[in-house]
Chain A
Amino acid sequence: GAVVSQHPSWVICKSGTSVKIECRSLDFQATTMFWYRQFPKQSLMLMATSNEGSKATYEQGVEKDKFLINHASLTLSTLTVTSAHPEDSSFYICSATLPTFSYNEQFFGPGTRLTVL
């Protein structure tokens, strides 16, 4: 099956620093990657949609200058949390799509837990 990896699986950083999270599709080329944020005991909230070679599309209320997304290749997308603050602490999940039949099935990465001190 299609596998999506994320690195790192967890990260702790100091307030004011930037953190980069990688999302890779290991055995397929993903046309689109998605970034989600999940707070404890809550659902997944879509942050942005990323297409290879073009600018990401951010959901309403998500600061594009705060959460920088780069989709440099068909197998790699990165999310950089700039000038992180404790309120940015969360679980970040990426997914990648594989065009299948009439819809784009999404395959999810294992997530990255970010803690900002």
Chain B
Amino acid sequence: AQTVTQSQPEMSVQEAETVTLSCTYDTSESDYYLFWYKQPPSRQMILVIRQEAYKQQNATENRFSVNFQKAAKSFSLKISDSQLGDAAMYFCAYFGAAGNKLTFGGGTRVLVKP
């Protein structure tokens, strides 16, 4: 079974600074997708960014970018120019074609200091 590990329970960042969240996963599949979801205090899950495993280029969405290292099975999220609204729980998730379901990591809480 696939597993997703987020080793940082909580990260703190100064407003306008950069923070990087770690995620590692375990899989034997070659075709899969990786996601970062944001869960603010409202608890609504929001898709932040998506990476297809077959693409070598790292995905970018405005201030959010990933560092995808397929061989190392690592998928980190970088939040640049952090804003107060970025404060939330962030979940890394894996979707493999074989399982047809999302597997979530344990989450990282991001605190943004003004």
Chain A residues proximal to chain B, CB less than 8 Å: 32, 34, 38, 42-46, 49, 91, 93, 95, 103-106, 108, 110-111
Cα distance A19–B95 when bound, in Å?
A: 30
Contact of A103 among B45, B47, B97, B106 (CB under 8 A): B97
Residue numbers in A under 8 Å from B91 (CB-CB): 43-44
4 pairs of A and B residues whose beta carbons are closest in the complex:
A108-B45, A43-B104, A44-B104, A43-B106
**Interface SS of chain B:** loop
* Chain A residue with Cβ nearest B105: A43
Closest chain B CB from A51 CB (angstroms) = 10
- Is A43's CB under 8 angstroms from B43's CB? no
**Interface SS of chain A:** strand
In the assembled complex, 21 residue pairs joining A and B whose CB atoms fall closer than 8 Å, in A order, are A32-B100, A34-B101, A42-B107, A43-B91, A43-B104, A43-B105, A43-B106, A43-B107, A45-B104, A46-B101, A46-B102, A49-B100, A95-B102, A103-B33, A103-B97, A104-B100, A105-B47, A110-B42, A110-B43, A110-B44, A111-B43
Chain B residues proximal to chain A, CB less than 8 Å: 33, 42-45, 47, 91, 95, 97, 100-107
Residue numbers in B under 8 Å from A38 (CB-CB): 43
Residue numbers in B under 8 Å from A34 (CB-CB): 101-102
* Chain B residue with Cβ nearest A38: B43
Closest chain B CB from A105 CB (angstroms) = 8
* Chain A residue with Cβ nearest B6: A43
* Chain A residue with Cβ nearest B42: A110
* Chain B residue with Cβ nearest A111: B43
Residue numbers in A under 8 Å from B43 (CB-CB): 38, 91, 93, 110-111
- Is B95's CB under 8 angstroms from A103's CB? yes
Cα distance A103–B94 when bound, in Å?
A: 12
* Chain B residue with Cβ nearest A60: B1
* Chain A residue with Cβ nearest B54: A102
Residue numbers in A under 8 Å from B95 (CB-CB): 103
- Is A93's CB under 8 angstroms from B106's CB? no
Cα distance A46–B95 when bound, in Å?
A: 13
Cα distance A34–B44 when bound, in Å?
A: 15
